[in-house]
Amino acid sequence: MELFDREEGLSRAEIEAMQESRLRETLRLAGKTPFYAKRLAETGPIKKVADLSRLPFTTKDDLRAHYPYGLLATERDNIVRMHASSGTTGSPTAIHYTREDIDTWARLMARCMHMVGIRPRDVFQNTSGYGLFTGGLGIHFGAEYLGCLTIPAGAGNTRRQLKLIQDFGVTVIHIIPSYALYMGETLQQDRIAPDSFPVKIALIGAEPHTEEARQRIEFLLGCRCYNSYGLSEMNGPGVAFECTEQNGLHVWEDAYIFEIVDRHDQSPLEAGQWGELVMTTLTRQGMPVLRYRTGDITRLIAGDCACGRRHRRIDRIAGRVDDMFILKGVNIYPLQIERVLMSFPEVGQNYVIELDNQQGKDILKVRVEVGENSSAGDNDLQKAVTRMLKDEILLTPQVELVSFGGLPKAEGKAVRLIDKRRTTPAIN
């Protein structure tokens, strides 16, 4: 195992000792903000990682309530950058970084990239939108820190992306999974064979996706894909990342404490049990965040990873707490639907789930594109998809096959779920 930095290779005992000392420093800094000072005073002294569970969670609403500058643990003059969560609903949240924070973040991101075999000789293209979204500058700084030639292509304009990739011999891209599927379709249309495509590694993240979608991207682009997880509240990307085992994401525990709690009563969960990920920053100077409820559903993977790293692993994100919908008393995650759709080779890459209420009855409609060589009029396919979805979600959806390229394509994170049952826009 070739390590990028010392922290990557720490033993469990070393990681735990580092967490204790970094938590003490984080609590000292957090105590400089009126919000956490009050909370810490109410909770009583927190001396160890084990005491942390006494502290109330920090929620998205807490961050919103302190927008724009309310949670700074340092002078505003020491802040060199801000990002904001892409949050599709509600008011924004702002995250602030000191120069040191930017540097630590870039190093974490570079460590992720190095872990999957990326080296300074690689040419890296970032297809994320630049701007407030952390997937732009966050990944960019990581790639430069590692020493790659870094192309800030930004979002959209697929043919220009492909031209840059081919002209500059791009070997690594960062790409949102839904966009990677779309890029794969464009390759097919342009008759570019995946094995002549120079990209060898794609970092895919920023939105939930299934193993089936990953395999499809690997097939369409002819590369290996590694799952990249992060959220603005914890810097952005670089929080957890798959190693070459492709079996769970290592959370960098020298920089974050993570917990997985029951979605309903927030009690701690054992390895293997699915729950909500809760995270605490350990290195952030400008804006420490304690016990943040991410809203993301995952589980701890028990046991040591074959790669030798001792930072524990989480499973791929199964969805967001607020993505789950309940229909006729059944809890459904959009990814359950994706998994079924992607298992049909005749089915294309783009789909949308619509929830509606007609004459007092809840209706689940799945509109999905067929592949380039399939027909939207294929009744057998329509029936087979309906049957398999019913087996997965225990309800019979209305399945509409749409011709190739017939559904709208979002730039940035895909919108997969449209809930028409809501009469007013959701604010959460």
Residues that bind Zn ion (CB under 5 A): 243, 245, 305, 307, 309
Least separation in angstroms between CB 295 and ligand AMP? 6
Instruction: With contacts defined by CB under 6 A, name the span among 100-108, 145-153, 230-238, 375-383 that binds ligand AMP.
Output: 230-238
Per rule CB under 6 A, is residue 317 in the interface with ligand AMP? yes
**Binding at 239: pick from Zn ion, ligand AMP, none (beta carbon under 5-8 Å per type):** none
**Binding at 85: pick from ligand AMP, Zn ion, none (beta carbon under 5-8 Å per type):** ligand AMP
**Binding at 126: pick from Zn ion, ligand AMP, none (beta carbon under 5-8 Å per type):** none
Assign 3-class secondary structure to the chain: CCCCCHHHHCCHHHHHHHHHHHHHHHHHHHCCCHHHHHHHHHHCCCCCHHHHHHCCCECHHHHHHCCCCCCCCCCHHHEEEEEECCCCCCCCCEEEEEHHHHHHHHHHHHHHHHHCCCCCCCEEEECCCCCCCHHHHHHHHHHHHHCCEEECCCCCCHHHHHHHHHHHCCCEEEECHHHHHHHHHHHHHCCCCHHHCCCCEEEEECCCCCHHHHHHHHHHHCCEEEEEEEEHHHCEEEEEEECCCCCCEEECCCCEEEEEECCCCCCECCCCCCEEEEEEECCCCCCCCCCEEEEEEECEECCCCCCCCCCCEECCCCEEHHHCEEECCEEECHHHHHHHHHCCCCEEEEEEEEEEEECCEEEEEEEEEECCCCCCCCHHHHHHHHHHHHHHHCCCCEEEEECCCCCCCCCCCCCCEEECCCCCCCCC
| Sign of the four-CA dihedral 37, 43, 48, 51 | negative
Contacts of 37 (CB under 8 A, 6+ apart): 30, 31
Least separation in angstroms between CB 363 and ligand AMP? 26
Using the rule CB under 6 A, which residue among 200, 320, 367, 390 binds ligand AMP? 320
Per rule CB under 6 A, is residue 296 in the interface with ligand AMP? yes
Residues 149-208 that bind ligand AMP (CB under 6 A): 205-208
Per rule CB under 6 A, is residue 229 in the interface with ligand AMP? yes
**Binding at 40: pick from ligand AMP, Zn ion, none (beta carbon under 5-8 Å per type):** none
Least separation in angstroms between CB 377 and ligand AMP? 34
Per rule CB under 6 A, is residue 228 in the interface with ligand AMP? yes
Using the rule CB under 6 A, which residue among 26, 74, 86, 171 binds ligand AMP? 86
Least separation in angstroms between CB 107 and ligand AMP? 19
**Binding at 243: pick from Zn ion, ligand AMP, none (beta carbon under 5-8 Å per type):** Zn ion
Contacts of 45 (CB under 8 A, 6+ apart): 51
Specify the residue, 171 or 228, whose C-beta has the smaller distance to ligand AMP: 228
Per rule CB under 6 A, is residue 94 in the interface with ligand AMP? no
Q: Is the separation of the CB atoms in 231 and 294 below 8 Å? A: yes
Contacts of 361 (CB under 8 A, 6+ apart): none
Q: In the numeric block, which tokens belong to residue 263?
A: 């979605």
Using the rule CB under 6 A, which residue among 19, 33, 74, 85 binds ligand AMP? 85
Q: In the numeric block, which tokens belong to residue 405?
A: 């390229």
Q: Is the separation of the CB atoms in 22 and 28 below 8 Å? A: no
Per rule CB under 6 A, is residue 341 in the interface with ligand AMP? no
**Binding at 232: pick from ligand AMP, Zn ion, none (beta carbon under 5-8 Å per type):** ligand AMP
Least separation in angstroms between CB 417 and ligand AMP? 13
Instruction: With contacts defined by CB under 6 A, name the span among 104-112, 228-236, 251-259, 420-428 that binds ligand AMP.
Output: 228-236
Least separation in angstroms between CB 1 and Zn ion? 9
Least separation in angstroms between CB 414 and Zn ion? 28
Specify the residue, 158 or 247, whose C-beta has the smaller distance to Zn ion: 247
Number of residues that bind ligand AMP (CB under 6 A): 17
**Binding at 305: pick from Zn ion, ligand AMP, none (beta carbon under 5-8 Å per type):** Zn ion
Specify the residue, 230 or 286, whose C-beta has the smaller distance to ligand AMP: 230
Using the rule CB under 6 A, which residue among 104, 134, 283, 349 binds ligand AMP? 134
List residues binding ligand AMP (CB under 6 A): 85-86, 134, 205-208, 227-232, 294, 296, 317, 320
